[in-house]
Structure 1
Amino acid sequence: MLKLVSFLFVIAFVYADEQKHWALIVAGSEGWDNYRHQADACHAYQIMKKHGIPDERIIVMMYDDIAHNIENPTPGIVINRPNGPDVYHGVPKDYTHSEVTPKNFLAALTGDEEGLASRGLFGKKVIKSGPNDHIFVNFADHGAPGILAFYNKFLHARDLMSAINKMHSEQKYAKMVFYIEACESGSMFQDLLPKDINVFATTAANAHESSYACYFDKKRRTYLGDVYSVMWMEDSDKEDLQTETLQKQFLIVKEETNTSHCQEYGDMSISNLDVAEFQGKMKSRTTSKYDRIRIPNPNFGAVKSEDVPLAIQYQSVKVAETEEEKDKYLTKIAALEQKRTQTIETFRRIISVSLNHDSWKVSEVMSSRMTLRNFDCYEPIVEALRQECPGLNIPQNDYALRHLYTFVNLCEIHPRLDNDEILDAISKVAEVPDSGC
């Protein structure tokens, strides 16, 4: 009897000490023009699944309006490269549509079932990790200084850092890795992510530049992927993840991505671990004809994320079969160009009112490029713009996101400026009929 009890104790101890792998995969955007983000997310899921992470430990957040979109010529199928395989089949629908929010993302990451329940989301999948577990987080969407966009809301860098630090203090992981596909994604970690909390992050871009979309598809009239995401996922598809380190994968992606400057942050010792430690330890036993086909270089024909809506229309003009069809796309181009001009003017008006119409100061703010440090000033401005200028649709208007650096400049160059004055300026401009708000 004593031997049996001892045996059961050993088994229980080993089981309790077992390391688990978790993955949280997010595409924050919606709409056909943003097809690539959900295609990236679906492909990432397939990699985790293929390498042995079970569905109960893979969480997928995506709007889910692409596979069965009216514009999809292949209903129910999503691809991530030209003539590529379907990556949508089997993808879990853990969080979709309006459930794709920063709060729900942080709740899923930290295992906050009570927080989800308070918002009416019962029984949703969350990461229930322990001190021995490894967590892989992949995000694809739009970004700006200190923010990642989720459909119609923002995840702020400090909120993400707060969640990570809390998880570390509560011993909810042994090691955690982030792969972030977004413009200015480096700003989510630069000077923010500690090097001693067992977290390693790589990003598609540095803190000041765009990430790039790739693979325009003439049949679908949209871009299929993002350069950084395609690079790391195609590498994971072909490499033995048990012999390739995170650092090796990063260096490959960095070297082969010539559209933006991929970055790494946090605990560099983690980068010496095998990719399998985060993307799944099982060696894939399945190969297909797609695994043997050399993929086209995603850098060729790649466009800045903020230029995607315009680029889609220009590409569509080229393949239009009738003059009527061509005129339709040209009309859309004119409307997009007008919206871009209006966006810049809206930002200029707000800054001008904030600075009492001092033209020299306004010019300085509009033309500088400062590093975000004054979060207390910047974050309320971003939220006020999102709420009071719905016409700009900033979370999904990547061109507007590219100009949020002007408000970083405003906060950094004029730190003594009363925040209420800036918020009041936003309200005043929003009341003007042709303001764009």
Structure 2
Amino acid sequence: MKLVLCLALSVVLAVNASPVFEQEAQGQTWVLLCSGGIGWSNYAISANVYHAYQTVKKQGIPEKNIVVMHYDDLALNKANPTQGKIVNALDGEDVYAGVPKDYVGADVTPKNFLAILRGDPTLKAQGKKVIESGPNDKVFVYFMDHGSVGSVLFPKGYLYADELNTQLKQMNTDKKFAQLVFYLEACDSGSMFEKHLPTDINVYAITSSKYNELSWMCTHDTVRKTYLGGFFGVTWLNDSEANDPQIEILDKQYAYIVEHNNFTMDKETHTQHSQHYGDLSIAHQHVSEFLGPKKVPAAFNQVHHDNVEYVNIRDVPIKLAEKNIASTDDLYEKQIYVDELARLLKGREYVDTHLYEYVNSIQQFTAMETEQLLNSKLELSEDMSCYKKFVDTFHNRCFNLNENTYAFGKIGVFNNICNQMVYEGAVDIAVEYLAQYCDNHVALFQSNIE
């Protein structure tokens, strides 16, 4: 009798234990969300990331497995008419509530971003959250900020495509994940992976645009006097909230993004061509593997594409100034906005003038005419060493790219120069001349050229 009872108990324990063993074998899901945005005009950047946090949490990703990076300068910003609250759509619910302050302010850097992603033990020893993924785990990353050729901006510093992809390769070698999915929203975002992300390291990436294409913000709010969302982000979030993540696969979500990336504004059709890279077989997995298994009711943050206004990310400050001028009859207030618009346009002209003069001065080292160098968008080379010399010099000696986002949007010029150099030895000469030119002609204290 005792033997029968023991056998029965063993069977019961084995049955009850099997889900645990199965769960351990399947691994966990980890999420890293990063907003590189800073300032009220970049409201949409953080609002998208906050919305993403609410979505993955509601869909069942444990709080301990989510890491959020954000500058955190919006909720209590003096420009915010709803203090302590952030929305991602007109009449939307608060997406800021409960968002953790894992990394805020000066801690939102490329160095920390990469360290968090690889589970850096030094950060963990300091009591900071990191992605502690292992060989059976799935990792999801969503990043949004300004982008340019082969780089994305942070509040301080910028991240190059080769740096990001080198780490992803190393993480695969170190068995830091079973699969990793990366959603990247920025201008020229395709350039962060095209020619750089291998197809055999268990990483799948979706970008908001091609390597040479602008990304867009949407939904102007006359109350908050800013744009509320990034077009790519609200599109994939809308899709996630409208479908069962255990039924929908990533490839279907990608198809939805592609289908809804066309829009008409001012009687003109605009498109940001979302791209995907890496191991495309991962796209056949269910959304639940990376964003959580629970089906949650669609939030009030749904953006209806037939009633939304769009603006490319780089022109948001200009568009906001124009809208503010048109929105007031108070002459004093209107003059403030007129002066702001004039400052923005003058700053852009300042950057353009000095870029033209510099490029024209070294044109003899290249196989392209000055206008072509300034206005083309050539593909990023796999070897970024030449390009990085120019960009770092431009940042350190000409325009601080974190404070001058318009100048950041122009750095693709240096990729064109590198691609068209007539001989290798000319690179160092041209870089040195850039430093000398800026020392002599550009006032480094120039800032906020947006």
The whole-number CA distance in structure 1 between the counterparts of 2:288 and 2:61 is 10
- Choose 343-352 or 333-342, whichever is displaced more: 343-352
Amino acid at match of 2:138: H
Deviations 1:54-89 (A, max 9, x none): 111000000000111111110110000111110000
Alignment match, 1:43: 51
Spell out the pairing of 1:151-190 with structure 2 (5 A cutoff).
151-190=155-194
SS in 2 for 1:151: coil
2:384 maps to: 375
- Aligned partners of 1:111 and 1:128 also within 8 Å: yes
Deviations 1:328-353 (CA, angstroms, capped at 9, x unpaired): 10111111011111111222233234
Which residue number in structure 2 is paired with residue 402 of structure 1? 409
CA distance in 2, matches of 1:255, 1:278: 22
1:348 is aligned, of 340, 346, 356, to 356
| Aligned residue type for 1:27 | S
CA distance in 1, matches of 2:223, 2:425: 51
- Counterpart CA distance in 1 for 2:256 and 2:332 is 45
CA shift for structure 1 position 382 = 1.1
Q: 1:17 aligns to what SS in structure 2?
A: helix
Stretch deviating more after TM superposition (380-389 or 24-33): 380-389
Deviates more, 1:395-404 or 1:35-44: 395-404
Aligned pair in 2 of structure 1 residues 357, 422: CA closer, same or farther (>3 Å)?
Answer: closer
User: 1:356 offset after TM fit, Å?
Assistant: 6.0
- Are 1:101 and 2:109 counterparts? yes
Of 314, 319, 328, the residue aligned with 1:306 is 314
Change (3 A) 1:299 1:202: farther
> Which residue pairs with 1:384 in the alignment?
393
For residues 66-105 of structure 1, what are the structure 2 equivalents within 5 Å?
66-105=74-113
Q: What is the identity percentage for the equivalent residue pairs of Structure 1 and Structure 2?
A: 37
Partner Cα separation in structure 1 for residue 35 and residue 366 of structure 2: 41
Structure 2 Cα separation of the partners of residues 133 and 358 of structure 1: 48
Greater shift, 403-412 or 346-355, is seen at: 346-355
Indicate conservation of the 8 Å contact 1:227/1:299, yes or no: no
- Distance across 2 between alignment mates of 1:192 and 1:353: 32
Provide the rounded CA distance (Å) in 2 between the counterparts of 1:263 and 1:243: 23
Quick check: 1:257–1:299 contact (8 Å CA) kept in 2? no
2:225 is matched with 221
Shift in CA distance, 324/355, structure 1 to aligned 2, threshold 3 Å? same
Cα offset, 1:128, TM superposition: 0.6
For structure 2, the residue ranges without an aligned partner over 5 or more in a row are 1-5, 263-270
What is the DSSP-based 3-state SS (H/G/I as helix, E as strand, rest coil) of the residue aligned with 1:138? strand
- Structure 1 residues 78 and 298: alpha-carbon distance in aligned structure 2, compared to 1, 3 A threshold: farther
For residue 143 of structure 1, what is the aligned residue in structure 2?
147
Moved more, 203-212 or 424-433: 424-433
Change (3 A) 1:342 1:359: farther
Mapped to 1, the partners of 2:306 and 2:229 lie a distance apart of 8
Q: Distance in 1 between matches of 2:336 and 2:84?
A: 27
Q: Which residue of 1 aligns with 2:281?
A: 269
Q: 1:381 to 1:195 in 2, by over 3 A?
A: same
CA distance change for structure 1 residues 222 and 270 in 2, over 3 Å: closer, same or farther?
A: same
CA distance in 2, matches of 1:261, 1:299: 21
- TM-superposed deviation, 1:429: 2.1
Contact conserved, 1:142 with 1:395, CA < 8 A, in 2?
A: no
Is contact 1:142-1:396 (8 Å) kept?
no
TM-fit CA distance, 1:18: 4.2
Q: Measure, in 2, the Cα distance between the counterparts of 1:298 and 1:178.
A: 28
Structure 1 residues without counterparts, runs of 5 or longer: none
CA distance in 2, matches of 1:158, 1:195: 15
The counterpart of 1:296, out of the listed 304, 307, 324, is 304
Which residue of the partner structure matches residue 244 of structure 1? Answer: 248
The offset of 1:234, in angstroms, is 1.2
1:315 partnered with 2:323: yes
For each residue in 1:276-314, what CA deviation from the matched residue of structure 2 results, as whole angstroms up to 9, or x when unmatched? 110001233x566x27xx633178421111100000101
Cα distance between partner residues in 2 of 1:240 and 1:16: 24
Q: Which amino acid aligns with 1:394?
A: L
- Residue 396 of structure 1 deviates from its aligned partner by 5.0
2: distance between equivalents of 1:10 and 1:125?
Answer: 30
1:126 aligns with 2:130: yes
C-alpha distance in structure 2 between counterparts of 1:361 and 1:250, whole Å: 39
* TM-score normalised to structure 2 length: 0.88
Q: What is the CA distance between 1:327 and its match in structure 2?
A: 1.0
Residues 419 and 77 (structure 1 numbering): CA distance in 2 closer, same or farther, change over 3 Å? same
**Alpha-carbon distance in structure 1 between the residues aligned to 2:199 and 2:60:** 29
Distance change in 2, residues 1:210/1:360 (3 Å): closer
Q: Which has the larger radius of gyration?
A: 2
For 1:10 and 1:204, the matched residues in 2 are separated by: 41
Q: What is the alpha-carbon root mean square deviation over aligned residues? A: 2.5
Distance verdict in 2 for CA 1:266–1:300, change over 3 Å: same
CA contact (8 A) 2:238 2:298 kept: no
Number of residues of Structure 1 aligned to a counterpart in Structure 2: 426
- Residue aligned with 2:305, SS: coil
Show the counterpart of 2:63: 55
What's 2:345 paired with?
337
Q: Which residue of 2 aligns with 1:260?
A: 272
Q: 1:37 to 1:378 in 2, by over 3 A?
A: same
* 1:280 maps onto 2:284 in alignment: no
Q: SS in structure 2 opposite 1:394? A: coil
Q: Does 1:201 align with 2:205?
A: yes
SS in 2 for 1:232: helix
For 1:381, the aligned partner's letter is F
Greater mean deviation of Cα atoms: 361-370 or 175-184? 361-370
Code of the aligned partner of 2:47:
A
- TM-aligned CA distance change 1:190 to 1:434, over 3 Å: closer
Measure, in 1, the Cα distance between the counterparts of 2:340 and 2:328. Answer: 14
Alignment of 1:103-118 (within 5 A): 103-114=111-122, 116=123
What is the alpha-carbon distance in structure 1 between the residues aligned to residue 203 and residue 307 of structure 2? 29
